[in-house]
Structure 1
Amino acid sequence: MTHYLFLGIVLGLSAGFAPGPLLALVISETLRHGIGAGIRVALSPLITDTLIILLTLFALSQLSDFKGILGVISLIGGIFILYMGYESLRPKAVVMNITDVRPNSLLKGVLANMLSPHPYLFWLSVGGSIMAGALEVGVIALLAFLFGFYASLVGAKITTALLVAQSKAFLQGRAYTWIMRILGCALCLLAVLLFRDGLSLLGIAVF
């Protein structure tokens, strides 16, 4: 269970701090409407990801006896995580749009997350592979992974909103750069583990 909790925390922190549409919206809403608006945007994945996770779990329940398919999913997830790690090792400036003054921050966050390909790619590859392994251990392991992931994901975005409210220079500072680089190294390690699990499920001898 601890293993899956750790995986959830690392992946959640990486996704939470990574530049993207949702993080940019958290920042712009914080700057435009205050910390409360930024926090509402940060909470939007709790709404949008529920259906994706349920569909992924349903698909996994149909494929649970097909180790070859799960092996391929693990390899695809490893590639995706490796790419995330590479991007985190080379953090870019966050592009913000603060010209939009419309209210309804939570709704805007929900729409931004629903229209982004990242949640779908994550849960249908990386998340699906990890949830499959967690289900073999037990429901508690699955819940530990999901809790760790969303507590870290939402927590990272709320932390970003708080830091931006206090210091708008945070995202251009060295602290943010080093946070992303450390998380990038952790993601590259997780990618190796996913490759190992995928090859093992395919019946290929691994280290």
Structure 2
Amino acid sequence: MSLINEFLISGILLGFASGISPGPLLTMTISESLKHGSRAGIKVAVSPFITDILIVSMILLFLLKFENYDPAIAMISLGGSFYLIYLGISSLRTKSSDLDLETKKSDSLKKGIIVNFLSPHPYLFWIAIGGPILFKAQDTSIFSAILFVIGFYALLVGSKITIAMLVGRSRGFLKSNYYLYTIRSLGLVYVVFAFYFLKQGLELLN
């Protein structure tokens, strides 16, 4: 039982750390919450439930079957960098007239899915950290592995949902200029992550 608790606690701690760490998905959660309200931010926050089924399956296959997965991660990083540049430019070009977006379709869940698929973060996490822990947990019992996964995603998604709710509720207290500058600042964050992913992808290819 102590080992089972250990895997659950490990999942909770890693999930919380990943959930609140700066990254493209957290940036988009805040951005969509500001633009469209908490509901849109929550849609972004829950996107790992959809994307990570395939991502984790791919990573476990890589770990079991392949010795060199750097080229695959490199291509994911490069694709993600271009998409983040697009998102960053869109945010930087936001004008005051664009701020009233309540009636517009946000496609927040779709955006979250694309960003998470193209971000190297979940792939690198499951290759370097999550995969080995999951294999170790499975050696103990399948229940241990399940507890690790539940603990990880409960905190990964739960922390982002909490942030989305807090940001969404603060919208009414934001003056228009602050709102505009925040959206544009998030655009800069997107661009920073884009260049980081581009650098990472090129390094893996070399």
Classify the TM-score, shorter chain: 0.5 to 0.7
- Counterpart position of 1:202: none
Q: Which residue of 1 aligns with 2:27?
A: 24
For residue 156 of structure 2, what is the amino acid of its counterpart? L
The partner residue of 2:148 within 125, 145, 155 is 145
Question: How many residue pairs were aligned?
Answer: 139
Structure 1 counterpart of 2:127: 124
1:104 equivalenced with 2:107 (yes/no): yes
Please tell me whether the aligned partners of residues 60 and 132 of structure 1 are also in contact (alpha carbons under 8 angstroms).
no
Query: Partner amino acid for 2:42?
Result: I
Looking at structure 2, the residues matched to 29 and 41 of structure 1 have their Cα atoms a distance apart, in angstroms, of 8
Cα displacement (A) at 1:120? 0.6
Output the CA distance in 1 between the equivalents of 2:162 and 2:65: 38
Separation in structure 2 between the aligned mates of residue 109 and residue 40 of structure 1, nearest angstrom: 7
> Aligned with 2:22: secondary structure?
coil
Q: Deviations over 1:71-129 (max 9, x none)?
A: xxxxxxxxxxxxxxxxxxxxxxxx9x483866210000001111111011001110111
**Partner Cα distance (2:113, 2:55) in 1:** 13
What's 2:41 paired with? 38
Within the candidate set 8, 11, 31, 2:11 is matched to: 8
**TM-score under structure 1 normalisation?**
0.61
- Once the two structures are TM-superposed, the CA of residue 28 in structure 1 deviates from its matched residue by 0.6
What amino acid is aligned across from residue 33 of structure 2 in structure 1? T
| Residues 123 and 6 of structure 1: CA distance in aligned 2, closer, same or farther (over 3 Å) | same
RMSD after superposition: 2.6
Of residues 158, 164, 167 in structure 1, which corresponds to 2:167?
Answer: 164
In the other structure, the counterpart of 1:50 is 53
1:114 to 91, 114, 117: 117
Higher helix share: 2
Displacement of 1:55 in angstroms is 2.6
- The residue that corresponds to 2:185 in the other structure is none
Quote the Cα distance in structure 2 between the aligned partners of 1:116 and 1:59: 17
- State the shift of 1:57 in Å: 3.2
Identity within the alignment, %? 48
Distance in 2 between residues matched to 1:31 and 1:50, nearest whole Å: 28
TM-score (norm 2): 0.61
State the one-letter code of the partner of 1:123.
Answer: W
Give the CA deviation at 1:52.
Answer: 1.9
- Gapped regions of structure 2 (runs ≥ 5): 68-87, 174-206
Question: Contact 2:60 / 2:131 at 8 angstroms: preserved in 1?
Answer: yes
